[in-house]
Each structure stands twice: as structure tokens, then as C-alpha cells.
């Protein structure tokens, strides 16, 4: 099986911060997104590889488990478990398919009916990793993350049926107001009104435009970021200074 180094996939160091990982992923996703590279299989693979890497490294709990596995087996593969015939290498994905929790097995393509506590000779996965998988040594119920999680589409993050997106607007749109079109998980686009004087990091809510599960429809949440112009010319700086004075703003 292919040895996948998620840090290498994103081009970051193993001690990279969460922000560095996020920035690297966004850069790759933007460059290789299928919408920008129609029919380009190589770009599609790079996009999928980066998305898979970010799905793990972008989640603190998954990243901690992944790092633990790397330490145990080296390079993202696990070797020489007691009972693993011949000491064959086993990839992270295969390990999750065979010995993870029900959710992990399903996520990585394993069967629902497989048991997570498989024995390796005299050792079980619970003996080896304790409550890492919520095994018999785990006494506390796992608590789901309160943060929206990455999806296969890097434009969206998801929490329940609610969809979350990050949208950058320019300074004029924030000051004067605007209307923008935003894609929804269903592929439709909705027109969203930006009110004059919108502040950075404002969260907008569009009802019933999130994910659908059965008859339930989630909402679409849009986090607004404001892009500030850089490298102004002397003339532009003068105009900004005049505006600041007119508005009574200190600078």
C-alpha cells in the first residue's frame, strides 16, 4: 500500500502550526481545484491528496493520533505488530479499516461488523493504545468536536446539517455594502446582502441552505473577512488620509 506522509502532501514541517497547515492546504486547494483544472487528472489527484491530508492534520484529535502512529511505526506505516503475519507493513488507512472504532472503520472503507478490539497474539488494540480508540480502558464517553469539520469540498466545513464557509470581501464592500453570490452545498447559489459598515469576522446566516439529511435542512453560515489593500501609491494614501479625516478617524 502507498505510504502517505500527510505533512509531505501539504509541504509543511511536522511541527507546523494549525495556521500554517491551514494556509498550505488552502494554497494547494486553490491551485489544483477541479473547477480551475477541468479534465486535469494530475491536478485532481493533488487536490484529493491535499484534502485527505488536511482532513487529518486539520483536526487536532486526528493529528494527535496520526502523529502517535508515525512514532510507533515510522513514516505513517505500522510494522511488526504481534500477530501481524510476517511483520508486514500496514498503512494508517488499513489499520483504521481493521482496528479503528466503528466510525473510523466506516470512514476508511472498512466493514461495520468488524470488531475494533482485534487480538495481535497476546495483545489487543486496547492493550496497545488504551483509550486512544475508546477501547475497554476508556471510561469516558467521547465528545464530538464543537467545531465545524472539513468536508470533501474545501469550500465548506460542516457541523451537523449546517454548512460553514469563509468569504473575503474588499474594503469598499464592507464600508458601502454589497451583494455577493455564494455557492451552497447543493450546488445552487444564493445572493447575500452585505450591509454597509460590516465588520471583519461577522457571521451571516442563510436559513435552510445547508446540508440536507432526510427531511431536515441545515443552515448556511458565512464568515466574512475583509481584505485590506496593501502597497498603496502616494496618491491613494492621500485619498485614504482625506477619507480618514472626513470620518474623524485617527491615523
Tens of pLDDT, residue by residue over 37-66, are 888 999 999 999 999 899 889 888 888 888
* Cβ count near 164 (within 10 Å): 21
Are 79 and 22 contained in the same domain?
Answer: yes
Looking at residue 52, which CATH number applies to its domain? 1.10.287.110
Are 10 and 124 contained in the same domain?
Answer: yes
Are 46 and 128 contained in the same domain?
Answer: yes
Whole-angstrom distance, CA of residue 3 vs CA of residue 143: 30
pLDDT of residue 95: 67
Are 79 and 165 contained in the same domain?
Answer: no
Partners of 204 in the β-ladder: 222
Pairing of strands 149-150, 178-183: unpaired
Give yes or no for a contact between 222 and 165, defined as CB atoms under 8 angstroms apart.
Answer: yes
Residue 29 belongs to some domain of the structure: yes
Classify residue 189 as left (phi > 0), alpha (psi -120 to 50) or beta. Answer: beta
Higher pLDDT, 162 or 92: 162
What are the grid coordinates assigned to 66, written together? 496520526
Partners of 44 in the β-ladder: none
Whole-angstrom distance, CA of residue 110 vs CA of residue 119: 17
What are the grid coordinates assigned to 232, written together? 498603496
Largest CA distance in the chain: 78
Are 18 and 123 contained in the same domain?
Answer: yes
Whole-angstrom distance, CA of residue 206 vs CA of residue 98: 40
Average pLDDT, the chain: 78
Are 169 and 56 contained in the same domain?
Answer: no
Whole-angstrom distance, CA of residue 79 vs CA of residue 72: 8
Residue 150 belongs to some domain of the structure: no
Q: How many CA atoms lie within 13 A of 64 on its CB side?
A: 5
Terminal-to-terminal C-alpha distance of the chain: 59
Are 28 and 123 contained in the same domain?
Answer: yes
Residue 144 belongs to some domain of the structure: no
pLDDT digits (tens, 9 = 90+) for 104-126: 666 666 655 444 444 444 444 44
Higher pLDDT, 206 or 122: 206
Are 101 and 56 contained in the same domain?
Answer: yes
What are the grid coordinates assigned to 236, written together? 491613494
Q: Count structural domains, the chain.
A: 2
Residue 141 belongs to some domain of the structure: no
Residue 146 belongs to some domain of the structure: no
Alpha helices in 169-219 (DSSP H): 171-176
Mean pLDDT of 15-22: 92
What's CA 196's distance to the chain center, in Å?
A: 31
Are 128 and 159 contained in the same domain?
Answer: no
Are 31 and 127 contained in the same domain?
Answer: yes
What are the grid coordinates assigned to 99, written together? 482496528
What are the grid coordinates assigned to 230, written together? 496593501
pLDDT of residue 99: 62
Residue 219 belongs to some domain of the structure: yes
Are 177 and 124 contained in the same domain?
Answer: no
* Cβ count near 115 (within 10 Å): 12
Looking at residue 189, which CATH number applies to its domain? 2.60.260.20
Are 73 and 171 contained in the same domain?
Answer: no
Residue 138 belongs to some domain of the structure: no
Which of 133, 166, 189 marks a domain boundary? 133
Q: How many CA atoms lie within 13 A of 23 on its CB side?
A: 7
Residue 168 belongs to some domain of the structure: yes
Higher pLDDT, 119 or 184: 184
Domain extent, residue 116, equals: 6-133
What are the grid coordinates assigned to 235, written together? 496618491
Amino acid at each position: 500500500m502507498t505510504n502517505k506522509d500527510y505533512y509531505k502532501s501539504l509541504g509543511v514541517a511536522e511541527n507546523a502550526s494549525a495556521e500554517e497547515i491551514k494556509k498550505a492546504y488552502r494554497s494547494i486547494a486553490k491551485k489544483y481545484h477541479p473547477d480551475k483544472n477541468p479534465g486535469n487528472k494530475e491536478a485532481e489527484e493533488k487536490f484529493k491528496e491535499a484534502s485527505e491530508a488536511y482532513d487529518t492534520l486539520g483536526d487536532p484529535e486526528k493529528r494527535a493520533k496520526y502523529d502517535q502512529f508515525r512514532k510507533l511505526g515510522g513514516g505513517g506505516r505500522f510494522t511488526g505488530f504481534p500477530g501481524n503475519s510476517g511483520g508486514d507493513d500496514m498503512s494508517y488507512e488499513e489499520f483504521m479499516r481493521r482496528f479503528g472504532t466503528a466510525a473510523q472503520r466506516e470512514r476508511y472503507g472498512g466493514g461495520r461488523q468488524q470488531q475494533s478490539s482485534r487480538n495481535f497474539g497476546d495483545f489487543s488494540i486496547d492493550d496497545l493504545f488504551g483509550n486512544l480508540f475508546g477501547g475497554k480502558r476508556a471510561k469516558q464517553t467521547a465528545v464530538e468536536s464543537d467545531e465545524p469539520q472539513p468536508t470533501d469540498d474545501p469550500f465548506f466545513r460542516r457541523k451537523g446539517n449546517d454548512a460553514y464557509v469563509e468569504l473575503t470581501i474588499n474594503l469598499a464592500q464592507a464600508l458601502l455594502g454589497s451583494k455577493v453570490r455564494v455557492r451552497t452545498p447543493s450546488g445552487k447559489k444564493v445572493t447575500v446582502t452585505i450591509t454597509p459598515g460590516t465588520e471583519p469576522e461577522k457571521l451571516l446566516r442563510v436559513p435552510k441552505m445547508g446540508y440536507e439529511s432526510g427531511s431536515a435542512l441545515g443552515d448556511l453560515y458565512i464568515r466574512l473577512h475583509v481584505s485590506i489593500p496593501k502597497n498603496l501609491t502616494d496618491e491613494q494614501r492621500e485619498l485614504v488620509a482625506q477619507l480618514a479625516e472626513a470620518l474623524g478617524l485617527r491615523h
